[in-house]
Amino acid sequence: MTTALFTHPACLEHDPGTWHPECADRVRYVLRALEAEEFAPLLRESAPQATREQLERVHPAEYVESILAVRPAAGEHVPIDADTAMSAGSAEAALRSAGGAVAAVDAVMEGWARNAFVATRPPGHHAEVAQAMGFCFFANAAIAARHAKTRWGLGRVAIVDFDVHHGNGTQAVFAADGSVFYGSSHQYPCYPGTGDAGEVGVGNIVNAPLPPRADGMQFRGAWDDIILPALEAFAPEMLIVSAGFDAHIADPLAELRVRTADFVWLTGRLLAVAERHCKGRLVSLLEGGYDLDALAEASAAHVRTLMHG
């Protein structure tokens, strides 16, 4: 068994506007990095479109329809919120991004992949139950978790998030659902303003806010001292990772000073948790990361670690 890579060309067709940081080159740079010979063993899979049933396990039908009904003409952009807009290709890209997360869950549950990385866009962790925001339309990680529970009958699913921005959408979906763990490190204060350590849900939410300019040592400490012990105690049956690489020191959208070696370290820690509790089952979803070279480097290092442990 090996690592599966899910992506789709439709994810390049989402265009939130000229100079928007969440651009198609993000996925292009990641995929280009994964073309190196060392990544030849990856199982390269096409991300399907999520079904309405899969989306509606998290989002109301009316909200799903309201997003999918926005079909701008070629070259036009329809704003959904202050920093989130849709183009002619956005609806399919959002469906593929959520669908790739679901298909990755199936891959590891069926056993033909040990773990998976989903290189799609738009990202998902800011999307709330009935509100698109923060470049996100559908809550991909939450949809994947609900699929794992509904389709595969898992009792405990964990989502961990190392994006520099707090995953307010993921947290909101599961704040009252003790069968899903959510743990996040993130810059605080920072967009979207959530993620205080006092936000604990029903005991299933663990936030480890980091001050601006926190470095890799502080990042590792937040995970070793706060999030990972709580994750171990939760003992998940599947681990879903919101893999945002915008905590990187080179990233322009925030101020943490994490380096690629720190992401590799954390990936190894998460794989060890998955081995102990989840039969190795781990699904990683691309979230943020806006310096293209840093994103490509860190994503490749993350996938390399997924492949080799």
Residue 34's nearest CA partner among 244, 298, 284, 247 is 298
Residue 251 sits in which domain range? 2-308
Report which DSSP code applies to 142.
H
Assess whether pLDDT exceeds 70 at residue 244. yes
d(CA 308, CA 297): 17
**pLDDT at residue 282, rounded to an integer:** 98
**pLDDT at residue 166, rounded to an integer:** 98
**pLDDT at residue 159, rounded to an integer:** 99
**pLDDT (average), residues 70-89:** 94
Q: How many domains are contained in the chain?
A: 1
**pLDDT (average), residues 146-170:** 98
| Average pLDDT over all residues of the chain | 98
**pLDDT (average), residues 207-216:** 98
Residues with a catalytic annotation lie at: 126
**pLDDT (average), residues 231-255:** 98
**pLDDT (average), residues 208-212:** 98
The pLDDT tens digits of the residues spanning 8-28 come to: 999 999 999 999 999 999 999
Q: Which two tokens stand for residue 233?
A: 């105690």
**pLDDT (average), residues 250-256:** 98
Task: Give the helix ranges, DSSP H, for the chain.
Answer: 25-33, 52-55, 61-68, 90-110, 140-152, 168-174, 216-222, 228-234, 260-277, 292-308
Which DSSP string do the residues of 123-140 spell out, in sequence order?
--TT-BTTB-BTTBSS-H
Assess whether pLDDT exceeds 80 at residue 295. yes
**pLDDT (average), residues 227-255:** 98
Give how far Cα 72 sits from Cα of 12, 77, 186, 219, Å.
16, 6, 34, 41
Torsion of CA 36, 257, 283, 33, to 10 degrees: -10
CA angle 92, 283, 209 (to 5 degrees): 95
**pLDDT at residue 1, rounded to an integer:** 66
Q: Which two tokens stand for residue 72?
A: 């701008």
**pLDDT at residue 309, rounded to an integer:** 84
Assess whether pLDDT exceeds 80 at residue 303. yes
Residue 115's nearest CA partner among 2, 242, 244 is 2
Q: Which two tokens stand for residue 223?
A: 């995970």
**pLDDT (average), residues 183-199:** 98
**pLDDT (average), residues 175-202:** 98
Task: CATH number of the domain at 94, please.
Answer: 3.40.800.20
Lowest mean pLDDT among 73-77, 253-257, 285-289: 73-77
d(CA 301, CA 295): 10
Q: Are 77 and 86 in contact (CB under 8 A)?
A: yes
Give how far Cα 121 sits from Cα of 175, 191, 233, 267, 280, Å.
25, 19, 32, 21, 25
Name the pTM for this structure. Answer: 0.98
